[in-house]
């Protein structure tokens, strides 16, 4: 476990954060298997400006539990990963745990427990390495205790 993830875990434990009721997911009646092969679309290398902004939302069904925005390295890494995945599978009935909007595309749905990313009307299973990287970015950018107030509707 890298130092950042370990530190975040210690902060959560020492900070006394209880499991939020909104984290209780809907039970699943099917399973997803991780991708066993390359799932990246062939593309030319793209350069990004370091101030690329990404918005991450923790979801409970269709309700936003919390929302945060971040820039720089994690934003560029997540944008580049999500942008070039080979979205071709049909969508399952599992609702995403997170929604992500980037400057190069919005409404990506991520389900870390089931290991997929959804975009438009298709989704893709992630490799273990991709899943670990996304998990690391989400953890690094989760607000303290992970449960700030969701943005006001209409705000």
Of 93, 94, 23, 92, nearest to 60 by C-alpha is 23
Asked if residue 23 has pLDDT above 70, the reply is no
Domain segments of the chain: what residues? 49-155
φ/ψ of residue 74, rounded to 5: -65, -40
- Local confidence band at 118 (pLDDT 50, 70, 90 cut-offs): very high
* C-beta of residue 66 within 8 angstroms of C-beta of residue 151: no
Q: Mean of the per-residue pLDDT values for the chain?
A: 74
**pTM recorded for the entire structure:** 0.68
pLDDT higher than 70, residue 96: yes
Q: Is the pLDDT of residue 4 over 70?
A: no
pLDDT tier, 40 (very low <50, low <70, confident <90, very high otherwise): low
Matching residue, tokens 């400057």 = 103
Asked if residues 150 and 66 have their Cβ atoms less than 8 Å apart, the reply is yes
Higher pLDDT, 65 or 93: 65
Contact 145, 10 (CB under 8 A): no
């Amino acid at each position: 476990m890298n130092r950042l993830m370990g530190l975040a875990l210690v902060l959560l434990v020492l900070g006394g954060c209880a499991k939020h009721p909104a984290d209780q997911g809907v039970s699943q009646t099917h399973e997803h298997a991780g991708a066993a092969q390359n799932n990246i679309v062939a593309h030319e290398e793209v350069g990004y400006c370091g101030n690329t902004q990404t918005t991450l939302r923790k979801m409970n069904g269709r309700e936003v539990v919390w929302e945060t925005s971040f820039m720089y390295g994690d934003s560029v890494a997540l944008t580049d990963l999500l942008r070039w995945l080979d979205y071709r599978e049909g969508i399952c009935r599992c609702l995403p745990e997170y929604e992500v909007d980037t400057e190069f595309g919005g409404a990506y749905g991520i389900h870390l427990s089931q290991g997929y990313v959804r975009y438009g009307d298709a989704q893709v299973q992630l490799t273990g390495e991709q899943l670990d990287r996304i998990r690391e970015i989400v953890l690094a950018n989760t607000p303290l205790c992970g449960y700030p107030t969701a943005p006001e509707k209409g705000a």
